[in-house]
A and B are shown apart, each in its own frame.
Chain A
């Protein structure tokens, strides 16, 4: 079945749903409208999965493309350009899958101002899906910023006690990064436009990919982009917004945040930083690898001493995302595929952990582990779900977490770019530490005797809660035992990217050895955009 504009539909249907909820009055119909929209979006996104053909090369264009003509054809080659390739596909699927799950998890959790909450949630989904499907850097940036506003309000309005502090911190951190990225985007757009687009400013991903950024500018352009994405990931030491945001956010917000919002950082690194600035990225690989590994160990050790279950899961994210970053900067197929699959895995298992902690909070209005204890006797099903999610998160073979971590570490170990066995050994120690803090949480929360009456009376998961957990649990097993269909979808794209990275790296080195021989723009000072354009015109006029 061919649905026209499928990609755009998947992006914007939630936004339409957001408008719909604004028009509705009573809480029940708002919730159902939100659930209906997100479920429909998910069903449509299955069409993307089926419609995407990994055997067709994405070297020239993504698949399932929706594209407008340039908005300002003479001056700026900026356009609406969305599509699907191996990188986007699974992340879009994860986003659309988490949509209805988050709505269901908020069903009774959000007790006031439901209309605004669900509208923002839906708007957020549009932003995130847009990020993962944009093949125009400018469009990407718009979606990237679009996610900021709904998340700010979700934390700031429906959050916990210190929600304002957390929300402001979240926004300022992210804005600082993304404004720097904006500068870099503008510069890159002019430079690339001058070099490969007849002097017209461009943010088309494929055109930008054509352009070999000179070595001298790669360094700081990479730094600006990477800084912005590193905040989002978050990479040590830029992570301190994350625990605050997670702890304060309502469950639904945390799930979206951990599940997909953080992936915008790792996705950005992979989509833009590595292929656009390959030499700089490889030069920085070891430093970033070290930061990633510090994050793995550091996040894990802090997670272990938390008293608050949600805070523990939040720090575990810092630790787990470190694996993804390490995998990206290893520049091997194994590690990069592992990183891509680990982004999904982290979304599933950490999403599940936040949902379960949220269920406990909804019942007892506390997140302190010491307030629980012995829950295995009163809520056996919830306990089982938690133990499975914990094991998935700790990377037990047979569950999803192992596949990603294993491939990342295996690929990083043999990486000639990182070339540090010791670094990978430290990263691998994360599997020990993960078991330590996660099992400790289970131990404190679920085992022992029931000493508190409220815990003994606690209700086990209800039908709605089970329904929302079931897809995650099933996927943990599927991705653990049979990740092959997912890996198949992404492999051609990662292979393509790695090849392009290698080609471009070599080309940039060659260009540096024979300066100006290639006829590309010399390194331009970044002061005035106008001057650069003049330069470019002058150059293109030359024979």
Chain B
């Protein structure tokens, strides 16, 4: 089949799904409850593109090709088309987006059953896939930006999906606006690129960009990096992501874990050739990733909402990906994007299944006349022992927990270990000291990750139920439309890592993803060149260290939470005191933004300064002039005596004056 047509179908099918699911039920309310039609259509328009992408993937010959559709805007030097680029990087990302996306659509059929906004949900989800595909397939920066803002829009619509609760809409606004700050930097980055290169197409940017002067490149990369911190939730713009969990759980899995939040990494990988020539910014990227990873991991320890644990965990894992980018190992960042998509989507969908179960409990309690106004189906403190009722959910959640904790041979083990190794290598052989710091923080964060993930697993699934009347009100396992996706993702969390086997095995020849993406093998993703190699024994030592840490912490967290349960949180609180409190309050970032930036600067300027200036000064001046002229006319009107003789006299005097002036010749 003609690849041009395939790209067209891959892009347009989700769009068609969004339009059909969105427009028809909007105007024909009787279609809003046709769940089978809506759900099937919504899932098919993602599954078919997945199959088509798979075909492209298998038949891909190694040379990137560009599918150009039609002109978007042109003026002067600007000549933009809707052009899409198929190469190894975009193919891999498209596979993840449509693959994981398809699984999550399937899951949503069951999860969203009975919701009033079923149609709206699928319309937005389809639209999201369309936007995300624009993002990963774009052949120029503005089309990428179209996707970039498009996914932001869908995220906004889906976080605020249950709009009758204003707190959801608040979270949605926050997400959109924080992402707009990133978009602002992205725009400036594009302007700078255009000023320097007179083009925004990747054909030009990737070939001529790397040879720009370092100072210019530093600015360009820095601006795009700020853009990436918005989408990919890094310091200082990560604050929207934890709140984004207000959306339905499949949204959290798809948008806020597996795909959209990785787009910042995709951008950096796409521009890897430029980033590598901006070493100062690389250090900033690496350090920002490390600090974010550590910070978010500590916050995750002190959260009680199961989805917030996973949200901060996502922030933390994204930090790992930025660490990889910061040490010039972009393909490893993408590797972690892929494995993280598997296990984090699995965890989120698992939490969704749990929430369904707990809502069932809540309804039962309410039915029996209990007061459920304080009952939170997402609070792990009221869970416990769910594993007995939801075996599939439990097992898959456990598999994903082991993967993210880095238990040897799971997907997370390979990708995280590769990141840590690359950081170490960049310090050891590349001579960059900041890389060592990144590595140390990475190792520490790995330990914390294992700890908080096992905590969430044990508190949720092990022990005995902590909700009231646990004997009579029990949850049930979710339907197979939800457990099949769980098992699929759980399985991938186990085996997904084998696409990137470390260098200790066959000297790195079996590292498929490196060979596939890496520029030195003809792929699109550049990487830092390393002068020497880390000795094999040391490399094995590092792997052993990671394995020991993962196994040790998992065992430790398991034993303490299995025996002491919730009480161990108090032990932590006592041991760490004020620090633990800070973790729980997420280091007060939100307070800072809310009180200082929004209240004081934005609204303060608007209300107290500018609006007042408008009415007092500007309008005051205008009304003052009006009053002045009114006063003047009060005086002047006295000359309007109405007596003709006076007018005649004035006329004569005027003529005399004019003639006199002319004669004197002034």
The complex places the Cα of A484 from the Cα of B82 at a distance, in Å, of: 12
A71 lies within 8 A of chain B by Cβ: no
- Least CB distance, A415 to chain B, in whole angstroms: 10
B75 touching A407, Cβ below 8 Å: yes
Given A301-B610, A447-B160, A487-B74: A397 and B149 interface contact (C-beta under 8 Å): yes
A334 touching B76, Cβ below 8 Å: yes
Q: Which residue of B lies closest to A405 (CB)?
A: B187
Select which of A237, A432, A447, A491 is within 8 A of B169 by beta carbon.
A447
A475 lies within 8 A of chain B by Cβ: no
A334 touching B611, Cβ below 8 Å: no
B77 touching A448, Cβ below 8 Å: no
Contacts of B173 in A (CB 8 A): 439-440, 443
- Least CB distance, B213 to chain A, in whole angstroms: 16
- Least CB distance, B150 to chain A, in whole angstroms: 6
Given A240-B622, A302-B611, A397-B145: A334 and B78 interface contact (C-beta under 8 Å): yes
Contacts of B165 in A (CB 8 A): 448-449
Chain B residues 124-157 with CB under 8 Å of chain A are 142, 145-146, 149-150, 153, 156
The complex places the Cα of A448 from the Cα of B167 at a distance, in Å, of: 8
The complex places the Cα of A47 from the Cα of B225 at a distance, in Å, of: 49
Select which of B26, B163, B184 is within 8 A of A429 by beta carbon.
B184
Which of B188-196, B350-358, B426-434, B523-531 lies on the face that meets chain A?
A: B188-196
B164 touching A484, Cβ below 8 Å: no
A381 touching B142, Cβ below 8 Å: no
- Least CB distance, B167 to chain A, in whole angstroms: 10
The complex places the Cα of A304 from the Cα of B607 at a distance, in Å, of: 8
Contact digits for B606-618, partner A, Cβ 8 Å, 1 yes 0 no: 1100110010001
- Least CB distance, B543 to chain A, in whole angstroms: 44
Q: Which residue of A lies closest to B169 (CB)?
A: A447
B170 touching A443, Cβ below 8 Å: yes
Given A413-B194, A481-B72: A304 and B614 interface contact (C-beta under 8 Å): no
Given A305-B603, A334-B76, A374-B164: A380 and B26 interface contact (C-beta under 8 Å): yes
B2 lies within 8 A of chain A by Cβ: no
Given A409-B187, A484-B72: A305 and B78 interface contact (C-beta under 8 Å): no
The complex places the Cα of A119 from the Cα of B26 at a distance, in Å, of: 37
B146 touching A397, Cβ below 8 Å: yes
Chain A residues 166-195 with CB under 8 Å of chain B are 169, 172-173
Contacts of B77 in A (CB 8 A): 333-334
B75 touching A334, Cβ below 8 Å: yes
B interface, by DSSP: helix, strand, loop or mixed?
A: helix
Interface size on B, residues (CB 8 A): 52
Select which of A435, A450, A484 is within 8 A of B73 by beta carbon.
A484
Given A374-B164, A398-B150, A487-B75: A432 and B191 interface contact (C-beta under 8 Å): no
Contacts of A494 in B (CB 8 A): 75
Contacts of A304 in B (CB 8 A): 602-603, 606
Given A410-B190, A435-B177: A302 and B610 interface contact (C-beta under 8 Å): yes
- Least CB distance, B596 to chain A, in whole angstroms: 15
A428 touching B187, Cβ below 8 Å: yes
B84 lies within 8 A of chain A by Cβ: no
Select which of A301, A396, A414, A449 is within 8 A of B149 by beta carbon.
A396
A435 touching B176, Cβ below 8 Å: yes
The complex places the Cα of A241 from the Cα of B622 at a distance, in Å, of: 9
Contacts of B191 in A (CB 8 A): 409-410, 413-414, 424, 428
Besides the contacts A304-B606, A432-B184, A450-B164, what 13 more A-B pairs have beta carbons closer than 8 Å? A237-B618, A302-B610, A304-B603, A334-B75, A396-B150, A397-B150, A409-B187, A410-B194, A414-B191, A436-B177, A439-B173, A449-B164, A484-B74
Query: Which residues in B have some Cβ–Cβ distance to A below 8 Å?
Result: 26-27, 70-78, 82, 142, 145-146, 149-150, 153, 156, 160, 163-166, 169-170, 173, 176-177, 180-181, 183-184, 187-188, 190-192, 194-195, 602-603, 605-607, 610-611, 614, 618-619, 622, 626
Query: Which residues in A have some Cβ–Cβ distance to B below 8 Å?
Result: 169, 172-173, 237, 239-241, 298, 301-305, 332-334, 337-338, 374, 376-377, 380-381, 384, 391, 396-398, 403, 406-407, 409-411, 413-414, 424-425, 428-429, 431-433, 435-436, 439-440, 443, 446-450, 481-484, 487, 491, 494
The 9 A-B residue pairs whose C-beta atoms are closest, nearest first, are A333-B76, A301-B606, A413-B191, A337-B75, A447-B169, A397-B146, A305-B607, A305-B606, A447-B163
